[in-house]
Structures are given as structure tokens and as C-alpha cells.
Amino acid sequence: MVRIGQVEQSKNERKIAVLLNCHYDSWPTSSAGSDDLISCALMLEIARLLSKAPQKLHHDVVLLFNGAEESSLQAAHGFITTHPWRHDVRAFINLEASGSGGRELLFQAGPANQWLLNAYLEAAVHPHCSVIGQEVFQSGVYPGDTDYRVFRDYGKIPGLDLAFVQNGYWWHTEFDEAVRITNGSLQRAGENVYSVLTHLLASPYLERPAEYGDKRSVFFDFLGLFVVVYDVKISHMINIVAIFIGFLVTMARFFQDRNLYIRAFVEYFAVLTSMVAVTYGMTKMVAFLYGTLQWYTHHWIAAIIYGIPIVWTGYATQTFFTSKLASYQILKFSDCLESIHLAFIAAILMIFTYYDVASGFLFALQLLPLIRLIVPISKETQKLLIFPLWLILPGAAMLVYTSEMLISIFIPIMGRTSSNPEPIVASFIALPTVLIMLSLLSFFAKTKTNREPNECGLKDFAYSISGIFFVMFLIVSVLSAASPSPFRYKYEYPTAKRTQFFHVNRLMHNRDGSIIANDSRLYAISHDYRGAEDIPFVKSDPEWQEIEPIYTHSHFKDIPYYFPTRARIDNRHIRYRVSEEQTKFSKPTKITLNSKKQTSKSEIEYDLSVSGFGQMSVYMVADPQWIITEFTALPVETYKAAPIEKDTSLFLFLTCSSPENHCTWNFKLVISLLPSQTPDQEKPLLIGAASHYIYGPEMQSKSLQQIESVIRDNRLHSNQWTITPSSWNTDLVYRYF
């Protein structure tokens, strides 16, 4: 930790500081090039520049190099809740990475405090930001968390969250090395952070933030050219006006020719429904033929297998309807389609506005064609096809730009998402494609088809849709045959399958204290939807089996989870086999009952201890008739009672640092009997403790080393073997109390 500021200062003068934060710890098996050593290097250079700067610093800078971010953000929490400098911090800049290189994205700003966002927009040399990123991240859709949340929630201070988000394939893997960081990324990020920081230090924002008010903003960069920012209240006003005009125009045209309008309404939603249905059908076809992730390495494949059928289907459906129109109806019919589309977009925008979602600006841009309908424009100009197309272009361009950004961020994430990724990626392709196709329906209606009306019947339409699926079946089949695996190993740009391998010593006890199992197992875990059977040696070796838990009432299923990720890992993602190698640990994991007290007929209080390696996961499971109602780490003078959700189970993540890398934890636990339930067991509480040897001489057994060696040798020659493993030994103990 470093503090740079004024040497001479009045004792009565309150110090003000800006916090700059990075973390130098890493995922156990990662080289940490981007996450987060690149940020630490950036901060070291900023420290050098500030310490030698000739100008007098108006305020202090605190540079926090924290060493416990990967262990549930503990270092940031420790600083912001206990360190004396925390009281001086008025704002912070958090530097993170969920990828490697590229443009760093400002994806969170605030809460509120418009002055802080203004400082970024005014000073950043190469601004890159989007309120979409903020809302997506805070919604929980994006799997991750940063120190930003800790500073915001526990420190009650505003900040900026900057992260490298491109090339997420290498995040938390052996491939996160400096050699793969995009050229120019560090320079670009450094220029941005240094400029914003010095701007903040010289501005009145820090001294009198209340004068600038708390405002929420809509902010985004337009096609990477410039940044747009405006107040959410202004956004609501713009949205309401656009919504009103959109509905008004639609109603006016409806009363001009109801029959034609109803016909246009049917066509519009038939086209929309057909495009959505074909997209859904394609997700099923791809999953059936290939097993998902075909686009994982080459993103353009997603555009082909989802974009082409959407465009084809939309045009075929539109042709089916408009071919039956009389020539004198076409222009009016085209106007009806346009107004229906604008009303549809206005309805979507109304929902976004009602729920106060700032990302609705994307749909507001789709309503730019309203200008042509409300602003006086000469008839000659209106007749020009290029004019309305120019009004559609900004909204369409932003849709494509935003979709491309989301695809480049989320496709690598699909490699660590256990649910079916096809609907998600298909949605990223479908949203811009469908909306652009719908906006062009009025133009398509004006074009002349080469088909005769008798060639555009229902039978011909069915042939067209069947042809779409047949052609796409051939395309997907050819791609599948040419490349059976979506993963690629290329030293400069590897896109590998994410896996974990645990070598687990198990000591499992029955309720009477007898030992049920005392053995050693190897666990193979796949983090993507393709599952553990996609690992070559797991698929080919019948000794790798599905999990059969001993403690069937526990949703942890005897698996030694490092984090509580049971919801993301089901039976298809994990296999085990018995290992002949029995790992030995210098200090075995222990669970000790210090006291057990029946405080009432319906309540039992436990005093327990667990001891083990520096990183432990503890699993507490009460019998179905009981729930865990209280938990407190001891001594109570040091730890506050933890607020918990009353449930039948509880997951604890424990981490400590000591010379021996071995710690003992004490805690008090209370379980309560559910109403109208009768206890049927003397020991209704199951406790499991897993020591995770994520570093040190006891980290990997010979069996794990052999697995990693086989993977690294084979992935040079086969895409199916392109795997990146995270592996360590685990000591697992379960006991009833």
C-alpha cells in the first residue's frame, strides 16, 4: 500500500484521497498476466509519475495493491472496513480484468455521483464505456464480482470499475500470460487512468461532491467514435415523447384504412414469429448435430448458422404475404408496416422506461425514422429511398456494434457456463438481425418479386422454410465433420476447454461414528455444457463414472466444491474414478465437536471447530426436519454474527494465512426444528470440511501431474485434447453431530 500526497499540511485540515486499486493474487493455476498484474504494473508507473511530478498534488492518492481478491474479495473488505486511511477516500478507481488486453471498458460507475462519470468522460484520452455493461453486470447475468462492490457497499463511496474484457478465453487459466496481452493495451489504459486520476485530483469534485448532486446517467460510446452521456430524467422525457408519437402515428394510419392495416399487422407479426421460431429451431439442430459451442473459436460461425436462416425466413415470409397485394395497395401497405414497426419498438421502449432500464437507449435510436413523419420534409426528399434508410442506419449500426461487443465478451464466457449456451448466443445474433429485418419490411414491400402470385402459395412457403432447414442442416453437418471439436490449440491464441481435476482423500462417517468410506478419488469437472464426456480420456475409460453420493439428502453430493457452484455443475459435468494413489497430508483435516446443547425441544446449539489448510470449504447440512437459523464465528469479540438465509444447508469459505499454512476455525451454530416436524435422528447435523491445497509442495499428486502431462502432450496434435486444467489435491472429511 502506498500513499502519495502533500508533505506539509495543517493538522486541522481534513485529508482527501482517491483510491486506486488492483490485486496481485491470482487464480491458483493462472499466470495472472491480465488478471491482474497488468493493472499492478500500470499502478506502479502511476506511482512513479506522481512521486516525481513537479506540480503540487491537491489531494492524496492511495494505491492499494491487494493480495486477496480471488478469495472472495477479502483484502478490499479488510481495507475499507478497518484501515485508518479509509476515512479519507472520497472516490476510487478499480482496475480489473475478465479477459486479456483490448480496450478496457468502463462497465460500472457510481452509485449515482454524476461528477465522477463526468470526470472520466472529460479526462479519458480513449473513453470506452456503456451503461449496458453496467446493467448486465449488476443484474448477475455476467458470472463475476469485483472489489468495486465491496468499496461501494461497505465503504459507501463512489467509484469507477475498469476492466479488460476481450479475449476472455485465457482468464483464470495457464494462458493468462503477458505475451498474449494485446499490444498497446497497457499504454492505452495507462493514459486513460492517469488522465482521469490527475483530473480528479485537480478538480473541485472531491472537496464538494454534494454540490454536483446525485444523478444517474445514460452513457455509451457511439460506434467507438465518441461518447454520449445524458441524465436518466432526460432519457425518460425523450422516451416518453418518442413513445407517444410512435403510438399516435400508428393510430392515425389505422383509421385511414383499417382492413389494410390489419393485414399489415398480421404480416408483421407473422414475420417476427417465423424468425423467432427458426432461431429456436436452429438452436435445437445445432445442439443435436454438434453438441453446442461450434462458434467458440470462430465467432463468424454463429453469424452464419443463426443470421442466414433469420434473414432468409424473414424475407420468405414477407414475400408470401405481399405477393398477393394489388399494385395500387403497395405504397399504403408499406406505410402501415413502417408505423406498426415503430409502434412495436415504442412498446418495447415503454417497458424499458417503466422499469427504469437505461439500456433502453438502444430502442430509442430505432425510433429515429419518426423524424420523417413529424418534421416537414419535401415530397421529393420523402420519395428518395436513401433518406429513410439514413434514418434507420444509426440505430441499426448501434445494434450491430453492441451485439458484436457482447458476443466478443460472452462467447469466451460460454466456455465456463454449464447451461446450454446456444439460446444465449443465438439471441445476440437474433436481436440485431430481427430488428433490422423488421425495420426493412416496408422497403421490401416496395420491391418487385420475380415470382408470380400462383408461385407464392402456402405450399411454396412451406417449401421455402423446409429448404432453409435443409441447407442449414448441410452447413452445420459440413462444419461438424470438418471440425469435430470447437476448441483450438494455437500458442498465440489458444481457445481451450476449461476443466478442473481434484485428487480427493475421503474420510466419510456414518451417524454412529463408523467410517463409511476411507479412499482416494480423482474428480474430473467440465465447466461447459458439453460436459465431462467431452474429455477424451474420460469418455474412453469406463472407470470414470457418474457421481453416486453417500449423503443423498445433501445437495452438495459429497463433491468438494471450492466455491458454492452446485447450481452451475450438475451430473453431466462431473465424473470420478477410484485412485490407487493415496495422498498423504502433513496435517489432516479435522472436525471437532466442542459442545452440543439442547436449548429447547426444537433447538440445538453447537460449538464446533474445523482445522485444515489455509483454504477450506465447509458444508453444513441439516436433516430435512431442521433448518440452520444462526451462525457465528468465534470469538464473538472478533467476528460479528453473520446474517444467513434460514435454510437446511450452509456453505462456508474459509481462508487464512499463517507460517504453517494451517489454521483452526471455531464457530457456533444453531439449528431449529421446523413446525409440525418430529426429529427422527439423534445426530441431525452433517458437517463436511475440504482442505484445498491450491499451492505449496502438497498441491498436486503424481496422478494429477500425469493427467496434466498427457493433456499438454496431446493438445499439440488434437483439437479434442485442447484442454486447460486447474488441478489440486483436496482432503475431505464428513461427520454427523
pLDDT tens-place string over residues 186-243: 999 999 999 999 999 888 878 776 666 667 788 898 998 888 988 889 999 999 999 9
Burial of residue 391 (CB within 10 Å: 0-12, 13-18, 19+) is: middle
What pLDDT band is residue 697 in, cutting at 50, 70 and 90?
very high
Report CA 612 to chain centroid distance, whole Å: 32
Q: Give the residue-averaged pLDDT of 473-477.
A: 93
pLDDT at 679 over 90: no
Kindly calculate the radius of gyration of the chain based on its CA atoms and give it in whole angstroms.
30
Q: How far is CA 436 from CA 223, 364, 399, 464, in A?
A: 17, 14, 9, 21
The CATH number of the domain where 139 resides is what?
3.40.630.10
Q: Give the residue-averaged pLDDT of 420-425.
A: 95
Within-domain flag for 222? no
Does 243 lie in the same domain as 295?
Answer: yes
Q: Range of 614's domain? A: 496-737
Residue 733's pLDDT is 98
What pLDDT band is residue 642 in, cutting at 50, 70 and 90?
low
**8 Å CB contact between 612 and 731:** yes
Within-domain flag for 491? no
pLDDT tens for residues 543-602?
999 999 999 999 899 999 999 888 788 889 999 999 999 888 999 999 999 999 999 989
Residue 250's pLDDT is 86
- Name the H helices within 483-530: none
Within-domain flag for 490? no
Task: Beginning with the edge strand found earlier in the chain, give each strand of the sheet holding 89-97 in spatial order.
Answer: 2-4, 60-66, 17-23, 89-97, 159-164, 104-110
Does 455 lie in the same domain as 593?
Answer: no
Q: How many structural domains comprise the chain? A: 3
pLDDT at 36 over 60: yes
Does 501 lie in the same domain as 477?
Answer: no
Q: Which of 482, 512, 546 is the last residue of a domain?
A: 482
Does 385 lie in the same domain as 239?
Answer: yes
Within-domain flag for 489? no
The C-alpha atoms of residue 732 and residue 589 are separated, in whole angstroms, by 7
Does 500 lie in the same domain as 477?
Answer: no
pLDDT at 637 over 60: no
Does 341 lie in the same domain as 203?
Answer: no
pTM of the complete model: 0.89
Residue 651's pLDDT is 94
pLDDT at 382 over 60: no
pLDDT tens for residues 162-195?
999 999 999 999 999 999 999 999 999 999 999 9
The C-alpha atoms of residue 131 and residue 396 are separated, in whole angstroms, by 18
pLDDT tens for residues 58-84?
889 999 999 999 988 999 999 999 999
Q: Catalytic one among 13, 45, 69, 174?
A: 69
Does 178 lie in the same domain as 59?
Answer: yes
Residue 231's pLDDT is 87
What pLDDT band is residue 405 in, cutting at 50, 70 and 90?
very high
- Residue 69: active-site member: yes
Residue 17's pLDDT is 92
List the beta strands (DSSP E) in 542-634.
574-578, 590-600, 603-613, 615-622, 626-634
Q: How far is CA 662 from CA 338, 349, 559, 560, 594, in A?
A: 69, 56, 22, 18, 19
Within-domain flag for 224? no
Residue 454's pLDDT is 63
Does 361 lie in the same domain as 318?
Answer: yes
Does 737 lie in the same domain as 601?
Answer: yes
Does 630 lie in the same domain as 519?
Answer: yes
Looking at 26-35, 142-151, 418-427, which range is the least confident one? 142-151
Within-domain flag for 293? yes
Does 592 lie in the same domain as 731?
Answer: yes
Full DSSP string of 527-562: -STT-GGGSHHHHH-TT-B----SSTT-TTTT---S
What pLDDT band is residue 410 in, cutting at 50, 70 and 90?
very high
Within-domain flag for 402? yes
What pLDDT band is residue 453 in, cutting at 50, 70 and 90?
low
Within-domain flag for 253? yes
Q: Is the C-alpha dihedral spanning 112, 118, 119, 124 positive or negative?
A: positive
Does 401 lie in the same domain as 472?
Answer: yes
The C-alpha atoms of residue 590 and residue 222 are separated, in whole angstroms, by 57
Backbone angles phi, psi at 257, to 5 degrees: -155, 90
Residue 243's pLDDT is 95
Looking at 1-15, 273-287, 293-307, 708-722, which range is the least confident one? 1-15
The C-alpha atoms of residue 192 and residue 194 are separated, in whole angstroms, by 6
The C-alpha atoms of residue 162 and residue 96 are separated, in whole angstroms, by 6
Residue 323's pLDDT is 74
Neighbouring CB atoms inside 10 A of 332's CB total 17
- For residue 689, give the C-alpha cell: 470440511
What pLDDT band is residue 633 in, cutting at 50, 70 and 90?
confident
